[in-house]
Amino acid sequence: MDQLTRPARERWRTFALILANTAVANLTTSYLWFGLTFWIYLETRNVIATGVTGGVYMLLLAGSSISFGTLVDRYRKLDLMRLAALFTLAMFLAAGAVFLLAPADEIARLDGPWFWGFALLVLIGAVVENLRNVALSTTVTILIEDDRRANANGLVGMVQGIAFMVTSVLSGLSIGMLGMGPTVVIALVLTAAAYLHLLTVRLPEEAVPVASDAQGGFDLAGSWRAVMAVSGLFALILFSTFNNFIGGVYMALMDPYGLELFSVEAWGLFFALASTGFIIGGAVIGRFGLGRNPLRTMLVVVMAMGLIGATFTLREWGWLYVAGIWLYMCLIPAVEAAEQTVIQRVVPLERQGRVFGFALAFEASAAPVTALVVAPLAEVWIIPYARSETGAAVLAPLLGEGTARGIALVFLLAGLIMVVAAILAFLTPVYRRVSVEYALAASGEGADHRAG
């Protein structure tokens, strides 16, 4: 089957519809997820609660991504997107019912079942929505010609950035002005609208699923074989995981730090301003691509992210924090697009779902480990030490004075470790081999791995 049967304009229009629908779905789940994080911290003032919640989310994502990839290889991508949207809607409905039925003085208690039941239902709905993102990566292969896929991946990053930006504003204002209950209702309405719109989208390039050797609902062995069939692909996934190390630290501590500096409404607005970097970074890739060696681009970007993470909280200045997040957001799309572009070029379409799912599982597992370790350490030891007279005196020359110096110390150490890890990756034989493999694949476009 030749997936490029329709004119390019029509295929790009279909891609735009799917991308826009996915953007609304991502916005909705992020809106509720951000709202949950803000609400938890404001109700408890406990970074362990936000860190554990974020860590559980990433663990659920890591545990389910192999299944997502297997399903994407076995079934039509559009059908799976619709299924994911319907399941997420059901989970959010159940979460709303728990919130409505829970006693007002019990819902925010960390030692009570109502809180964890409500949070878990939101988390499961948000995790399953990621099935759409795995399917979206394969629709780029189906709809977009090979030499334009890096640009399409850049547009994916840009649209995700727009959703991210709008989400932070809406979540902050929603929790600050409306509360958690109305926030759940708004998420339900948006999820239902995205599902109904997806029923109207058509993907004639995939009238039937592409023939695949994927088996069952959790083809770990097949995923591993698909990754190892391409020389250096596992190393590429390892390189991408560098980004997730610092991501786990941010997951646990970025919102608590921001909420120490700003009100919840102001933090949502400032985070939205910083998130415009995501849009700019994605737009730059959409226009110019990733260069001749996406892997080199990725590692340079990871080094820059580490330097930013080490310096943007050296002083407790709101403008420095927001500027640092903005620069960090500018760089995220490059890391994501580099990996996707390489996989879309060198992996056959009938195996791409499992490769993307394996990569998502492997990379997602790094962040919860960091978050689940860092959040308790910060809450129990680092933050109290930084606020003590002894700790404040030791840290003042490097990090200044302020109530959030403990969090700043964690950011500094994590950023420096990221820089060292990226430098070491540049020096490995694996980096040189993967760079050569990609160059050979890029020069041999006649052997493009499209299904057909």
Once rounded to an integer, what is the mean pLDDT over residues 185-212?
85
**Residue 344: is its pLDDT beyond 90?**
no
* The pLDDT of residue 92: 94
**DSSP 8-state class, residue 177:** I
Say if CB 213 and CB 67 are below 8 A apart. no
Q: What are the residues whose beta carbons fall under 8 Å from the beta carbon of 164, sequence distance 6 or more?
A: 30, 275, 278, 329
Q: How far is Cα 120 from Cα 91, in angstroms, rounded to an integer?
A: 9
Please provide the distance, in angstroms rounded to a whole number, between the alpha carbons at the two ends of the chain. 4
Instruction: With a cut of 50, say whether residue 99 has pLDDT above it.
Output: yes
**Tokens 């708004």 appear where?**
186
Say what the pLDDT of residue 450 is: 39
The residue that leads in pLDDT, 450 or 418, is: 418
Sequence-distant (≥ 6) Cβ neighbours of residue 75 within 8 angstroms: 209
pLDDT band at residue 396 under the 50/70/90 scheme: confident
pLDDT one-digit tens code per residue, 10-32? 888 888 899 989 888 888 888 88
Task: Pick the closest to residue 325 from 171, 174, 165 (CA basis).
Answer: 165
C-alpha to C-alpha distance for 53 and 33, rounded to whole angstroms? 10
Q: Is the pLDDT of residue 451 over 50?
A: no
* Tens digit of each residue's pLDDT (9 = 90 or more) over 37-81: 888 877 777 766 776 777 677 778 877 888 888 888 888 889 999
CA distance 259 to 261: 5
Residue 436's pLDDT is 77
Count how many Cα atoms sit within 13 Å of the Cα of residue 352 in the half-sphere of its side chain: 29
Token pair of 277 as six digits: 């970097």
Q: Output the pTM of the full model.
A: 0.70
pLDDT for residue 449 is more than 50: no
Higher-scoring residue by pLDDT: 404, 266: 266
What element of type H or E holds 272? helix 264-288
Whole-number Cα distances in Å, 306 to 111, 129, 237, 348, 422: 36, 29, 18, 33, 9
- pLDDT level of residue 452 (50, 70, 90 thresholds): very low
pLDDT band of residue 242 (cuts 50, 70, 90) is: low
Average pLDDT over residues 249-260: 78
Q: Are 287 and 151 in contact (CB under 8 A)?
A: yes
Average pLDDT over residues 157-185: 78
Mean pLDDT over 364-376 rounds to 69
CB neighbours of 389 closer than 8 A, spacing ≥ 6?
none
Give φ, ψ of 289 to 5 degrees.
80, -155
- Output Rg (C-alpha) for the chain, integer angstroms: 22
Mean pLDDT over the full length of the chain: 80
What single-letter DSSP state applies at residue 6?
A: S
Neighbours of 45 (CB within 10 A): 12
DSSP output for 236-247: HHHHHHHHHHHH
Residue 345 zone, left/alpha/beta (φ > 0; ψ -120 to 50; rest): alpha
d(CA 391, CA 19): 49
* Highest mean pLDDT pick, 36-50, 300-314, 370-384, 421-435: 300-314
Segment 357-384 shows an average pLDDT of: 74
3-state secondary structure of 120: helix
Q: pLDDT band for position 372 (50/70/90)?
A: low
**Residue 168: predicted pLDDT:** 66
Q: Name the least confident of 155-164, 181-190, 284-293.
A: 155-164
Contacts with 221 (C-beta within 8 Å, 6 or more apart), sequence order: none
**Alpha-helix residue ranges (DSSP H) falling in 110-263:** 113-143, 149-173, 180-198, 220-228, 233-261
How confident is the model over 289-310, as a mean pLDDT? 85
Is the confidence at residue 391, as pLDDT, over 60?
yes
Amino acid 1: pLDDT: 39
Domains of the chain: 12-212+228-447 (1.20.1250.20)
Other Cβ atoms less than 10 A from the Cβ of 326: the count is 21
Q: Which residue has the higher pLDDT, 432 or 47?
A: 432
Query: Phi-psi region for residue 82, left (φ > 0), alpha (ψ -120 to 50) or beta?
Result: alpha
The answer to whether the beta carbons of residues 246 and 309 sit under 8 Å apart is: yes
Element (H, E) at 67: helix 47-74
Residue type, 286: G
Q: What is the mean pLDDT of residues 126-143?
A: 86
Whether residue 113 is predicted with pLDDT greater than 50 in this model: the reply is yes
Residue bearing tokens 């229009």: 13
pLDDT bucket at 337, cuts 50 / 70 / 90: confident
Report d(CA 414, CA 246) in Å as an integer. 6
pLDDT band at 448, cuts 50/70/90? very low
